[in-house]
């Protein structure tokens, strides 16, 4: 009886723990069990008033060409790109102009403001900058050529009159017994220069004074004795000339006779 009861209990336990025939084996066998995660509904508000504003995009730089006019002949211009709000990019090579010195760049709309490498670009469109030039000052030496003159040097700017804008004028020299003929580019002949002429030489040079000899014919008063003596000489001069001629003829005949006697 006891054996029958034990057999029944074992059979029941075996049937209870047995797996179903169609059941598939678990793929997690031998792996640690991980707790299943459950999705939690989002509680963060998506209200537009609490969203971060998008970053503003920086505007693209405004770039254009600027014309640099050297104001020389033949015409010379350069195009250099400029950026609005940045410093001007100026030409690196400098042109030359006869008798002038380069001063800088200006815009003709504001000619009293110089444009330098530290000037920022304020115009947003292509424009032209013009070169400014200052006339060079040259020294003119005045050679009076045996005369006297108040000053022997004169400072004159290129392409300005010899009579300068600051009161300097070509002086007039003096020389005893001579009349001044004017200033000339050469000691003899040359080109005459007057104060209103434009100085067009881009170098220091010399002007020469030229003179004309004065011929004086003046009446000199004489005493009565000098007058009578002069009259006597005037009347006796023909006789003296005749006697002098006879003397010369006699000497000629004597020389002729002596030469024949020697032969």
Tell me what percent of the residues of the chain surpass a pLDDT of 90: 51
Place of tokens 């010899």: 162
Residue 103 maps to a domain: yes
C-alpha 103/C-alpha 129 separation (Å) is 13
What average pLDDT does the structure give for the chain?
A: 80
Q: How crowded is residue 183: how many other Cβ atoms within 10 Å of its Cβ?
A: 27
Residue 14 maps to a domain: no
Task: Specify whether the CB–CB gap between 77 and 67 falls below 8 A.
Answer: yes
Residues 85 and 117 in one domain: yes
pLDDT of residue 43: 46
Q: What sign does the dihedral 254-257-260-261 (CA atoms) show? A: negative
Domain count, the chain: 2
Task: Specify whether the CB–CB gap between 117 and 181 falls below 8 A.
Answer: no
* pLDDT tens digits, 229-259: 776 667 666 766 766 776 677 776 677 667 7
pLDDT of residue 164: 77
Report the run of H or E that residue 75 belongs to, with start and end.
none
Residues 130 and 68 in one domain: yes
Task: From residue 161, give the alpha-carbon distance in Å to each of 56, 98, 142, 199.
Answer: 64, 17, 16, 6
pLDDT of residue 19: 47
pLDDT of residue 172: 94
Tell me what percent of the residues of the chain surpass a pLDDT of 70: 67
Residues 176 and 203 in one domain: yes
Residues 207 and 143 in one domain: yes
pLDDT of residue 216: 74
Residues 76 and 127 in one domain: yes
**Residue-wise DSSP of 150-171:** S-SEEEEETTSBSS-TTS----
Which of 106, 135, 164 is where one domain is finished? 135
C-alpha 193/C-alpha 183 separation (Å) is 5
Which of 191, 213, 235 is where one domain is finished? 213
Residues 143 and 205 in one domain: yes
Residue 58 maps to a domain: no
Residue 246 maps to a domain: no
pLDDT of residue 201: 94
Quick check: 9 pLDDT over 90? no
Residue 115 maps to a domain: yes
Q: How crowded is residue 161: how many other Cβ atoms within 10 Å of its Cβ?
A: 17
Q: Which residue has the higher pLDDT, 179 or 227?
A: 179
Task: Specify whether the CB–CB gap between 170 and 163 falls below 8 A.
Answer: yes
pLDDT range class, residue 96, cuts 50, 70, 90: very high
pLDDT of residue 74: 85
Residues 121 and 183 in one domain: no
Residues 97 and 144 in one domain: no
pLDDT of residue 198: 94
pLDDT of residue 226: 73
118: CATH: 2.60.40.4270
* pLDDT tens digits, 142-159: 999 999 999 999 999 999
What pTM value is reported for the model?
0.56
Residues 148 and 206 in one domain: yes
Quick check: 35 pLDDT over 90? no
Residue 257 maps to a domain: no
Print the domain residue range for 187. Answer: 137-213
Residue 2 maps to a domain: no
Which of 83, 102, 135 is where one domain is finished? 135
pLDDT of residue 73: 85
* pLDDT tens digits, 106-141: 999 999 999 999 999 999 899 999 999 999 999 999
For the stretch 114-148, what's the b/e string if a residue is b when 16 or more beta carbons lie within 10 angstroms of its beta carbon?
A: ebeeeeebeeeeeeebbbbbebeebebebbbbebe
Strands 137-143 and 178-184: unpaired
Residue 53 maps to a domain: no
């Amino acid at each position: 009886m006891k054996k029958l009861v034990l057999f029944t209990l074992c059979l029941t336990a075996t049937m209870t723990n047995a797996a179903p025939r169609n059941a598939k084996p678990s793929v997690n066998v031998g792996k640690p069990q991980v707790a299943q995660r459950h999705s939690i509904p989002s509680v963060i508000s998506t209200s537009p008033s609490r969203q971060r504003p998008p970053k503003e995009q920086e505007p693209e730089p405004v770039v254009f060409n600027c014309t640099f006019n050297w104001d020389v002949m033949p015409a010379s211009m350069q195009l250099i790109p400029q950026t609005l709000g940045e410093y001007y990019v100026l030409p690196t090579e400098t042109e030359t102009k006869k008798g002038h010195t380069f001063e800088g760049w200006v815009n003709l709309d504001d000619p009293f403001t110089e444009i330098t490498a530290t000037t920022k670009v304020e115009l947003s469109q292509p424009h032209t900058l013009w070169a400014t030039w200052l006339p060079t000052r040259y020294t003119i030496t005045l050679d009076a050529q045996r005369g006297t003159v108040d000053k022997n040097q004169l400072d004159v700017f290129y392409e300005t009159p010899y009579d300068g804008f600051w009161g300097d004028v070509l002086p007039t020299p003096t020389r005893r017994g001579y009349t001044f003929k004017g200033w000339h580019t050469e000691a003899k002949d040359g080109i005459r220069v007057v104060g209103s002429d434009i100085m067009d030489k881009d170098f220091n040079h010399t002007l020469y004074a030229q003179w004309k000899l004065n011929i004086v014919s003046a009446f000199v008063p004489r005493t009565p004795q000098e007058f009578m003596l002069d009259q006597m000489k005037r009347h006796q001069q023909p006789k003296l000339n005749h006697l002098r001629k006879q003397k010369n003829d006699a000497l000629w005949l004597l020389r002729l006779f002596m030469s024949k006697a020697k032969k």
